[in-house]
Structure formats: structure tokens, C-alpha cells
Amino acid sequence: MAKRVMPQSLVIQPKLVMKGFCYAFSKALLERLKGLVEKDVAYASKEESKLTPLASSIVVKLTEQLDAPEHCEHTSTYVRIKDFHLRELIKLGEDFLSIFDK
């Protein structure tokens, strides 16, 4: 298992939860999603913009953490998100989490 590295100096404590937002949880979700996208394994069907079950779960929770539900369409069984919007969500996550880095 890879060792998780947290930034040395954060404006907030990494495990602090603020009204449903948790930096550590969001960061872990974001990093895993970035890994899936980089390895080109996030989509079950890229033509249909349909994510794998793991990527679906990550995107749903990440959009909840970032309060950005407009980035994807989801039902109880799958998530659809175009590649452009998925990359937009990743960029949003990086930008948002950088607020808490010193």
C-alpha cells in the first residue's frame, strides 16, 4: 500500500470536519480519481460517459464535498460524466483544496 503524504503545512488540521467537509477525505478522493483518469480506467464506457462503480462512488462523494453536483448525472446504479467535465471536476478539486494549503 502506498504511503499517503499530506502537505507539511495546512491552514486547517487535516482531519478536521467543517459542516460536512473533510480535507483529508476530499484529498484522498481527488488523488484516487486522478489516478484512475491517468491510468485511463475511470470509464466503463467512455462513449456513453459511464463511469466504473469505483469511479462513480468517488465522483459522487467528491461532488458532495465540493458542493458541485452540476458536474455529473447520477442514479443509484451509475454516474455519467463527460471526460471534459470529469477533468473540470478534478481541476475544481485541486483549486478548492489549495485554499487550505499554506
Residue 11 lies in a domain: no
Residue 84 lies in a domain: yes
Residue 57 lies in a domain: yes
**DSSP bridge partners of 43:** 51
pTM of the model: 0.78
| Cβ-Cβ contacts under 8 Å for 100 (sequence gap 6 or more) | 10, 11, 12, 23
The total of structural domains in the chain comes to 1
Residue 5 lies in a domain: no
At 7-26, the pLDDT tens digits run: 555 555 655 656 778 888 99
40 Rama sector, left if φ>0, alpha if ψ -120 to 50, beta otherwise: left
Domain span at residue 58?
Answer: 27-98
Percent of the chain exceeding pLDDT 90 equals 51
Which amino acid type is present at position 95? D
**DSSP bridge partners of 21:** 18
Cell numbers for 53: 462503480
At 26-48, the pLDDT tens digits run: 999 999 999 999 999 999 998 98
Four-residue CA torsion sign, 72, 85, 99, 35: positive
98 φ, ψ (degrees, to nearest 5): -65, -20
Residue 6 lies in a domain: no
